[in-house]
Chain A
Amino acid sequence: MKNYRTSLSTYWNKPSRAGYLFLAPSILVLLFFTVIPLIGTFALSFFKINIFFTNTTFTGFDNFLRVFQDERAVRSLIHTLYFTLLETPAQIIVGLLFAVLLSKNTRFNRFCRSTFYIPVICSLTSIAIIFSMLLDPNIGAIPYVLSQLGMPIPQFFRDPTLAMPTVAFMTVWKNFGVTMTILLTSIQGISPSLYESAEMDGATKKEQFFNITLPQIVPSLGFCILTNLIGSMQVFDQVYVATGGGPQFKTETAVQYIYSRGFSAPYELGYASSLSSVLFVLVAVIAITANVYMTRKERQMK
């Protein structure tokens, strides 16, 4: 015991060794609860395995073949992409719009910023609960207002074609504060002298936005787009609470399908894992493509 102690204390004393002790907890946790499970996902993809670990058999690529023949799986991937294509551009545009509009540090602007941030701190679960009541065609306030304006009452979450756009709208409403905050910080970091000299040259506000603001915030904008794309591909909470994947599975996303395959009867963990693997590849492809495209854009801007 004493030996162990002295050796530990020499570790603490030597800067070249203490680093390992500082890193150890984090590295171990990340190894055991992120990296090993990730490898596990790929490994499980090749097995038929249920939650009770009975009748586990090696099935090779069968699960993957099944994913592409399973209409529900393919559609869940398409729905995920559809949601991503609806949500990401909308959130970036709305976030950027408010970042620009609220960039001046007036009292009113600060008040708006902190109000717009409130949905961000609430859980998607509670937001989804609020919206499913507000948009309920029988009792909701929003359908009522629309009907008073002479419009037909939309069914929102219950309409197969309207459900996904509604989910996307709700997500933008909840999350645009994040994009706004990141872009705002970036805009406020732009040197005022750039605008001053532009004004001297008689540049309009619009020209200033496109020639100064936009090029200067390209790195942050790229970051927002990338994190948003990756985040949207993982959409689950809002769908789980507001629609449960319905109507007619029209809002069933990949994660929702993985969840219902793996964690409810018949608890097919192997098959669900191969779905996860496919989703991972899809996320990686999108992330890498977006990243390459944006790095190129960034270089062009400079």
Chain B
Amino acid sequence: MTIILVIIAFPFIWLVISSFKYEKDIISFPPKILADKYTFENYIKVWSTIPLLDYIKNTVIFSGGVVLTSVFFDSLAGYAFARMNFKGKSVFFYFVLLTMMIPFQVFMIPLFIEINKLGLLDTYAGLIIPKMTSAFGIFMMRSFFVTLPKDLEEAARVDGLNEFKIFLKIMLPLSKPTMLSLAIFTLMNSWNDLLYPLILTSSSKMRTLPAGLALFTGQNISFYGPVMAGTVISMLPLLIIYMFAQKYFVQSTAMSGMKE
């Protein structure tokens, strides 16, 4: 098991060490894991070779916007499916179920045309709006809300709260752990997404980290050092969050495998 731990960890350790090496040490053959001298040069250079600050800003706004809106809307819908009775509920439910089965890759071209026609291509709104809800999130929130006792909302109704306030003031606070898991899951997916932002952005000023790095590597494979530094910077935020919120990462994955 220790050998496997090394196999898993080695590429990361190697990446971090190499990102501090001089270009000549990176391309030396035979390769050495450790170099004689280290430098911050790559980390300084990467800011001037690619608009990394823009990439970071775009990724934060895109992921942040998606996480906030999607967790809220998914909770609303999940709550309605779990605890409310209304006409056509099962029809809506199958509708959501259906959308879960459709891969993004299949409808990306019309989506691109739609966003383009709405004049939202290359804007934050264009990136965020289509991702404001997800069938997976709705199902995840629903499976949490079904577990709550019925007395809860009845007591609140007697107290004269309307449906929205019951949801906001009583149900939502109770669902914090599930919401956090969903938030982490959504954050991870939007932070790492490549194809989606690649299609819906065209100027280099609007690119996210994965899209920016992918295009940069494609054009400049010779700049190993800055590419490595950029890769480290792009992975760091999620790794730091992972260190503090491991439980929620694992939970969000475990929940995706839950069957009802």
Chain A residues engaging chain B, CB cutoff 8 angstroms: 9, 12-23, 25-27, 29-30, 32-41, 43-44, 101, 108, 112-127, 129-134, 138-141, 144, 148, 173, 177-178, 181-186, 219-220, 223-224, 227, 230, 233-234, 236-237, 240-241, 244, 255, 258-259, 262-263, 269, 272-273, 276-277, 279-280, 283-284, 287
Give 8 closest A-B pairs by Cβ, nearest first.
A40-B110, A182-B257, A123-B192, A22-B80, A33-B130, A19-B86, A18-B163, A37-B107
> Who on chain B is nearest to A114 by CB?
B246
Q: List 24 A-B contacts (CB under 8 A).
A: A16-B85, A19-B86, A19-B89, A22-B80, A25-B133, A30-B133, A33-B114, A33-B129, A40-B107, A41-B109, A115-B5, A118-B12, A121-B242, A123-B209, A125-B209, A125-B213, A129-B217, A139-B27, A139-B29, A181-B257, A224-B257, A237-B210, A237-B214, A262-B112
Task: Report the minimal beta-carbon distance from B163 to chain A, rounded to whole angstroms.
Answer: 4
- From A122, A133, A178, contact of B238 by CB (8 A): A122
B235 x A255 contact (CB < 8 A) = no
How many Å lie between the Cα of A244 and that of B191 in the bound state? 22
B30 x A144 contact (CB < 8 A) = yes
Does chain A have a CB within 8 A of B43? no
Given A115-B5, A125-B192, A131-B11, residue A18 in contact with residue B105 (CB < 8 A): no
A255 x B105 contact (CB < 8 A) = yes
A133 x B224 contact (CB < 8 A) = yes
Residues from chain A with a CB closer than 8 A to the CB of B217 are 129, 132, 241
- From B18, B30, B74, B114, contact of A32 by CB (8 A): B114
What is the interface size of chain B, counting residues whose CB is below 8 A from a CB of the partner? 88
B135 x A13 contact (CB < 8 A) = no
How many Å lie between the Cα of A255 and that of B9 in the bound state? 30
B253 x A287 contact (CB < 8 A) = no
Task: Report the minimal beta-carbon distance from B14 to chain A, rounded to whole angstroms.
Answer: 7
A19 x B85 contact (CB < 8 A) = yes
Residues from chain A with a CB closer than 8 A to the CB of B239 are 118, 121-122
> Who on chain B is nearest to A49 by CB?
B113
B194 x A40 contact (CB < 8 A) = no
A44 x B133 contact (CB < 8 A) = no
How many Å lie between the Cα of A21 and that of B162 in the bound state? 13
Residues from chain A with a CB closer than 8 A to the CB of B253 are 117, 120, 177-178, 181-182
Residues from chain A with a CB closer than 8 A to the CB of B28 are 139
A272 x B74 contact (CB < 8 A) = no
> Who on chain B is nearest to A18 by CB?
B163
Does chain A have a CB within 8 A of B164? yes
How many Å lie between the Cα of A125 and that of B232 in the bound state? 12
B11 x A123 contact (CB < 8 A) = no
B191 x A123 contact (CB < 8 A) = yes
B76 x A37 contact (CB < 8 A) = no
A29 x B86 contact (CB < 8 A) = no
Does chain A have a CB within 8 A of B195? yes
Which residues 83-135 in B have Cβ within 8 Å of A in the complex? 84-87, 89, 92, 95-96, 98-99, 101-114, 129-130, 132-133, 135
How many Å lie between the Cα of A234 and that of B101 in the bound state? 12
A26 x B77 contact (CB < 8 A) = yes
Known: A18-B80, A178-B253, A276-B109. 10 other contacts (CB 8 A): A34-B102, A40-B111, A40-B113, A126-B210, A132-B217, A141-B14, A141-B31, A186-B257, A223-B257, A258-B105
How many Å lie between the Cα of A233 and that of B242 in the bound state? 28
How many Å lie between the Cα of A182 and that of B251 in the bound state? 9
Residues from chain A with a CB closer than 8 A to the CB of B101 are 284, 287
Flag B227-241 by CB within 8 Å of A: 1 or 0 each.
110010011001100
B188 x A12 contact (CB < 8 A) = no
A182 x B256 contact (CB < 8 A) = yes
B194 x A41 contact (CB < 8 A) = no
Task: Report the minimal beta-carbon distance from A226 to chain B, rounded to whole angstroms.
Answer: 10
Residues from chain B with a CB closer than 8 A to the CB of A134 are 11, 14
Flag B7-46 by CB within 8 Å of A: 1 or 0 each.
0110110110010000000111111010000000000000
Given A41-B109, A237-B194, A280-B103, residue A18 in contact with residue B164 (CB < 8 A): yes
